[in-house]
Amino acid sequence: MINQRIVDSSSKVQLADNRVCFNTGRVENSQGEQRLEPLPLAFLDYLISRTGEVVSRQELLEHVWCNRQVTDDAIRRVVKKVRVALGDDAKEPKFIKTIPLQGYQFVGDATVLCEQPAQHARKIGAWWIIACFVLAAVMSATLFVLNSEEPEYFGAVITPLTEISGSEMGGEYNAQTDTLVFMYRGSNREPFSLYAKDLSRDLLYRLSGDDGAYHTISMSPDGSKVLYQRNKGEGYQVYIADYENGTLRRQRRLDISQKKLALQGWSADGKEILYHAYVVGETAHHKASSKAIFSYNLESNTSRQITFPLSKGRGDVLARQSADGQYLAVVRNQQLRQYRLLVFAQHDGKLLHETLLGFEASNLVWSQEQPNSLLLSSFKGQLARFDVNSGTLIVSEHITPGLNDVFGECGKDCLLMRRHGMNYRDIVSMPNPFVTLPSPPAKLKIASEEVEWSPIYSHDGSAIFYLSRDKKYSYLYRLVYEGPNAGEKTLLHRFDTLDAINGLQASSDGSYLLGRREERLFMYDILNQQFRWLTGDDEQIVYANWSADSDYIYFSRVEQHSYRLLRYSLATDLTERIQDNTLARIEDELGRVFILRDDFWLMQKQAGGTERALVQLPRLPELTVIARNNALYWADKQSLTVHLNQLDLLTMERRSFALSRNEWTFNFDLHPKLASVIYSKELLAASDLVKVAGRE
């Protein structure tokens, strides 16, 4: 036991199987390595120095927070970070015990690994005074700020705009009327309803009077009309209504011929609306793969196409016209995760700027405070401002997961944004709806305060691999749920939280995991716990699959706007080209080969080199296709419901099972014995619309 302060920053302390270095913040244990920030380190340091004693909140504020005013939640967040790093359980604590209504107590054994000279101990008072000043400065200037508002957002002051319990999204602010319009639902089982908030009078209105499924709402520049989309079972249609004192009147459907369109807002004069819809490219391979921007004239009831993308990506996904009508800003997805900002002159359609974005913009809005500038934001918390006059893109150094989708401004360095929690998915399993078993398998649920996604079964079905994410990192885990080691959880690898990790697959021999970080392919050696890149940063990789014998990996790469299927050999470490215009190759246990073409037709290879067309699959950035036991499995969305589909390869009979409603869950996995299905289930994405001061 120790009962003295760790007064030298080079000190290392052993806490059971944890080695804590107070100089670097590293915490090393059997699960790998983590880093603690200065404030959690200071908390742990002080608690160890008072081993066995109950440390009150007031003492913590004085000696750790240097007399700063912070909330109980701020203290609890720091305690949680320390517990997570040490692998401690609040219910059965090995190190930090909560004493209700009193404080915290360090109850573990601590051994100093680097003893310090005695004179250091005599200088503890001066050291800690200096440390307080340093800590206060750090807390004021960096990510580790913990103030009474929202410490995780770099000291930004967060003020809720609506204060409704549930999920708010799709916010749009009309500066002329000081009105906020948005979508809302109280639970994950409900469709979205439409709401408006008169901010000047603090009045909240529900605009949709029924339980219909609504989506996207936009107010005309003068505030007199509202556009929205509604699904009555045949897809989302566009409606327009007059807006009068929190009520929608004279609602009518617009006759727009394109299907699967998405509203983008109004023209500056309010006479036209903007939307994007799929267009046909020059070749069959471009068909329905790119979206273009259209305008719809409300007087003549006619549409015209105003952008003409030809790309292997989704095309033009966002568009906004400036308030003065001079410019049209467009975000274009050219291929995979590559996005560009384009700014056109409205009067002649001339392209003025084309700028590569380093992130996927989920929202775009013209600035009301800085003329001729744009604000762009991502779901992951990135924020950027583009100046049309200079053509300069400035990306904020602050990244705030959980604070995103800027939709307006409320003054200098004051933004209107969406704030959401990080717990919007849990992993669940269910019996396979297409098979009959004498006894159904046990249902599984993986839940925490973080988001969990992309679950897959191990090769023998005894364990599950999955991903989890908090505001700092993404984690790859292995969870055993069968056998004597059931419940054992192992951290395999850690990624930056901004990285998109997709396409996890286990080899049939149980030796390796395959996956993609953004567009880069990686392999993880499970037995030796080694991570390895298979492709470079300059390559753009999409769907990847193991061969049936796990000797090869098939993956497609983007080459000059076309997809090339390649094969990597584990034995020779060589890659060879197999087929053009192909997204994926899937093999089953019987040796059958299936090819997913880049027009999303799934083909079965026949003797003599011919192909049999089986089914055209939905165009999704992430698509799971499993071939097993004379059947094919995939997921798609039919109206508001996600269905799990099975195609019997002997009879060609197709069956569907309603997996979830009001969700976007398309990734799943089948148990090796086909007993169960595991997938990531969407929870209520608890979120609210907020005013953010000091974010930029």
pLDDT of residue 273: 96
Res 671: pLDDT: 94
Is residue 507's pLDDT more than 80? Answer: yes
pLDDT of residue 33: 78
- Residues 395 and 202: their CA atoms lie apart, in Å, by 33
Mean pLDDT for the stretch of residues 432-453:
88
Asked if pLDDT for residue 3 goes beyond 60, the answer is no
Average pLDDT over residues 122-134: 40
Give the pLDDT score at 442.
Answer: 82
Task: Return d(Cα 606, Cα 444) in angstroms, integer.
Answer: 39
**pLDDT tier at 71 (50, 70, 90 boundaries)?**
low
> Do the bridges between strand 451-457 and strand 445-446 make them parallel or antiparallel, or are there none, so unpaired?
unpaired
Tokens of 334: 């050219």
The residue-averaged pLDDT of 489-495 equals 92
Summarised one tens digit per residue, pLDDT across range 234-290 is: 778 999 999 998 999 999 999 998 888 999 999 999 999 999 998 865 544 434 458
Q: Do the beta carbons of residue 432 and residue 675 sit within 8 Å?
A: yes
Contact 267, 274 (CB under 8 A): yes
- Which stretches of 5-112 are DSSP H helices? 38-49, 57-63, 72-86
**DSSP track, 390-416:** TTEEEE-S---TTEEEEEEEEETTEEE
State yes or no: pLDDT of 137 exceeds 90. no
**Which position has the token pair 């003020």?**
159
- Please tell me the distance from the alpha carbon of residue 294 to that of residue 281, in angstroms, as a whole number: 15
Mean pLDDT value of segment 1-17? 57
**Percent of the residues in the chain that have a pLDDT greater than 90, as a whole number:** 51
Residue 99 has pLDDT above 60, yes or no: yes
pLDDT value for 250: 95
Q: Which pLDDT tens digit goes with each residue over 603-653?
A: 999 988 899 999 999 877 678 999 999 999 999 887 668 899 999 999 999
Overall average pLDDT of the 72-90 stretch: 83
Radius of gyration from C-alpha coordinates of the chain: 28
Average pLDDT over residues 170-193: 90
What average pLDDT does the segment 80-103 reach? Answer: 86
Residues 251-260: contacts with CB within 8 Å, 24+ apart? Answer: 254/296, 254/298, 254/301, 255/301, 256/296, 256/303, 257/303, 258/294, 258/303, 259/235, 260/235, 260/236
Angle (CA) 227-337-292 rounded to 5° is: 40
Tokens coding 70: 């912070």
**pLDDT tens-digit map of 520-575:** 899 999 999 999 999 987 788 889 999 999 999 999 998 876 889 999 999 999 99
Residue in this structure with the two tokens 């603690």, named with its chain if needed: 36
91: Cβ contacts below 8 Å, ≥ 6 apart: none
pLDDT value at residue 141 = 37
The pLDDT score that the predictor gives to residue 153 is 67
Distance from the Cα of residue 266 to its chain's centroid: 28
Confidence of residue 151 (pLDDT cuts 50, 70, 90): very low
Quick one: pLDDT band at residue 114, thresholds 50, 70, 90? Answer: low
Listed residue (238, 209, 242) closest to 226, CA to CA: 242
Q: What is the mean pLDDT of the chain?
A: 85
Residue with tokens 């753009």: 540
Q: Which residues, 6 or more positions from 358, have their beta carbon under 8 angstroms from its beta carbon?
A: 382, 395
Is the predicted pLDDT of residue 150 greater than 50, yes or no? no
Q: What is the pLDDT of residue 154?
A: 65
**The residue to which tokens 């046909």 are assigned:** 280
Residue 9 has a pLDDT of: 38
What does the pLDDT read at residue 60?
86
* Residue 575 burial (C-beta neighbours within 10 Å; 0-12, 13-18, 19+): middle
Ranking 126-130, 184-188, 633-637 by mean pLDDT, the lowest is 126-130
What pLDDT shows up at residue 311?
Answer: 67
375 has which bridge partners? 365, 385
Please give the Cα distance from 506 to 41 (Å, whole number).
Answer: 38
